[in-house]
Structure 1
Amino acid sequence: MATPSIKEVAQRAGVSVGTVSNVLNRPWIVAPTTRQRVQDSIRALGFVRNEAARHLRAGHSRTVGLVVLDVANPFFTDLAEGAESLAQDHDTVVMLCNSKTDPVREGRHLDQLEQQRVRGVLITPCDSTDPRLSELAAKGTPVVLVDRAADGGHCSVSVDDRLGGRLAGEHLIGSGHRRIAFIGGPLTMQQVADRLTGFTATVEQAEGVALRTVEVDVMGVKQGRAVGERIAKLGKKSRPTAVFCANDLLALGFLQAMAVAGLRVPEEMAIVGYDDIDFAAAAAVPLSSVHQPAELLGRTAMELLQEEVDAADQHRHRQVIFQPDLIVRASSDVTR
């Protein structure tokens, strides 16, 4: 069945095509009775306007692209929710794209979003120095980095991950641990590198603390469980007594491995994660975690993007940095 046209709507309502267009785009200038007649015709015919064609004429769409590293991580789900909550206020739709930390896949998403003439792009990039991001902005599509600091070429919203690493280190060392492991990766990701840098700086300031670093390619539950299984097999005198995982999914997988191996948490193994996703507090042993405000990150990123869209040539890039907090729970608190 052919899609009804705007001309057919006009004929059925007994008005001009221009009047139908006004009802669709500027309904307040059309008399209420005429507007109702047009709307009745639209419903009767099942007319759906061609948004793509309208966007091509306008030069941009009402869609904002959100490109994240791992849609399976609840942190990014919360971030998307924050972005979408503000997007609704601006009659904008968020299109979620999952790069899976793959630069090639990320590049394809950016190409497709540009072809769609999106209003802008919010992105947690695999590499914040990727020239593709600057090229996109130079061609008129605003880009805001999310959960990643920018050097001034873009707006950005991030968390002080070095501070987050220091908070985790101070907590574990202050709890008496002297054999500690860091699990995260890939270390080329700026967030992971910054968390390790802050953590390492704290360890180096303490006497007699040995740090083991375990790099993973993907930060998921499966990878955390695999690392946990390997560490659990180490001898008691060489095994770390505490681990800091670069995200909560790794930490939850590691926690599962400790349960299977029969190691008590936190008495024999203290665990601290990062992100403070909802599952952290709901774990069998509630997980200590460095909290970062995911929804606020998404909402603030959308605010910066909207500022850039509205201000155009008058816009000045801003870098917003939030401070993390350590939420101590049973997985690392031996006093509970």
Structure 2
Amino acid sequence: MVNSRPVGMKDVARAAGVSVGTVSNVLNRPDIVSADRRARVEQAIADLGYVRNDAARLLKMGRSRTVGAIVLDSTNPFYADLVHGMEAAAEDSGLAVIVGSSGNSAEREKLYLSLFEEQRVRGILLASAGTDRELVRSIVDRGTPVVMVEDEGERGADGRSGGGAGGSTVSVDDVEGGRLAVAHLIEGGARRPAMVFARGDLHQVSARIEGAEAAATEAGLELELIEADDLTVLAGRAAGSEIAERSPEDRPDGVFCVNDLVAVGMMQAFAYEAGIAVPDEIAMVGYDDIAFARSTVVPLTSIAQPSELMGRTALALLEEKISAGDDAVDRHVRFSPELVRRGSSRG
């Protein structure tokens, strides 16, 4: 009968003819063990197939080599690139990243936060779906550092960013990104600009709306806001179909989509369902500049975010917080967005 019980340190000690303490020293402080005993223990480990329980050991020591990351939507290429940057930076530091996708659900986000804290991860990287900041502060206060991603922090009375929920932040200036997108459409000749968005409760979405409206107001135009059902390709296609049903005079002549996935779906509706020419009839701008933006039916003009660099920076800020401990100082890194011109827009 095969014994399925995991091999433990006592088994290794018995096979090597040494104490459990000697086995522990070979695993953790081999320099203090004689060569003969070390060789016997190493041979017993190989013969028995012993695997040390690092999880239990590190939990006992109160620290781990893992970092928890929570993103809004793992199916969105932007977040895939963001996580790739986190993982690359973590690998350089001998850490591992455990990723959870909230699916834009604050409740699922709370669940991941609780699980990561229970597992005593070294820190948490959080692209929030709207969790109460007090919950995040309580996690920080209990000793788990948090870096907020895509978050400029809370704004004070002067409108300036004042830091995240007790931690450092990494963000892009989404107000400027929204302004760039709509200003570009207007410069290209759009006089009936519109913005298609979803999840206006997300701070990055509301910031993009703020910038888009500011650009339209500056040009003496009114921005039409069109709300989609979600931040997905299918939701964009549905919104595009609704626009296509209007008469040409009632349609917007320039559309800024809150992300590239929505823009891709809308472009599909225009091209395959309605025969609307992009950009001749309706110019389009997306946001995120995902890799697929280059290979859409008409290559998509987009507002680029440095997703991988944001991920690397978030991990670096988290390590700063871990190293400094109680003396840690919050840092707030904000990147500038960039307009990437392609065929879907004029000018």
Q: How much has 1:184 moved relative to structure 2?
A: 1.2
Q: How much has 1:189 moved relative to structure 2?
A: 0.6
Q: Does 1:287 align with 2:290?
A: no
Q: Does 1:104 align with 2:117?
A: no
Q: How much has 1:186 moved relative to structure 2?
A: 1.1
Paired position in structure 2 for 1:160: 173
Q: Does 1:172 align with 2:175?
A: no
Q: Does 1:266 align with 2:279?
A: yes
In structure 2, what residue type is equivalent to 1:117?
A: R
Percent sequence identity over aligned pairs: 47
Paired position in structure 1 for 2:267: 255
Q: How much has 1:30 moved relative to structure 2?
A: 5.1
Call closer, same or farther: CA 1:13–1:189 in 2, change over 3 Å. same
* Structure 2 unaligned blocks of 5 or more: 154-161
The residue correspondences of 1:53-72 to structure 2 (distance < 5 A) are 53-72=56-75
Call closer, same or farther: CA 1:329–1:48 in 2, change over 3 Å. same
With normalisation by structure 1, the TM-score equals: 0.94
The residue correspondences of 1:90-169 to structure 2 (distance < 5 A) are 90-127=93-130, 129-150=132-153, 151-152=162-163, 153-169=166-182
With normalisation by structure 2, the TM-score equals: 0.91
Query: How much is the aligned-residue C-alpha RMSD, in angstroms?
Result: 1.7
Q: How much has 1:17 moved relative to structure 2?
A: 2.5
Call closer, same or farther: CA 1:172–1:304 in 2, change over 3 Å. same
Q: Does 1:9 align with 2:12?
A: yes
Distance in structure 2 (CA, Å) of the matches to 1:289 and 1:33 = 65
Q: Does 1:82 align with 2:85?
A: yes
Call closer, same or farther: CA 1:18–1:283 in 2, change over 3 Å. farther
Q: After superposition, what is the alpha-carbon deviation per residue over 1:129-180, rounded to whole angstroms, capped at 9, x for unaligned?
A: 5211001000000010001112323100000001111111111000000111
Distance in structure 1 (CA, Å) of the matches to 2:265 and 2:252 = 16
Paired position in structure 2 for 1:234: 246
The residue correspondences of 1:289-328 to structure 2 (distance < 5 A) are 289-328=302-341
Distance in structure 2 (CA, Å) of the matches to 1:332 and 1:81 = 30
Distance in structure 2 (CA, Å) of the matches to 1:96 and 1:210 = 41
Q: How much has 1:216 moved relative to structure 2?
A: 2.9
Q: How much has 1:31 moved relative to structure 2?
A: 6.0
Call closer, same or farther: CA 1:186–1:38 in 2, change over 3 Å. same
Q: Does 1:206 align with 2:213?
A: no
Judge which range, 56-65 or 308-317, deviates more. 56-65
Distance in structure 1 (CA, Å) of the matches to 2:296 and 2:35 = 56
Q: How much has 1:7 moved relative to structure 2?
A: 1.7
Paired position in structure 2 for 1:188: 201
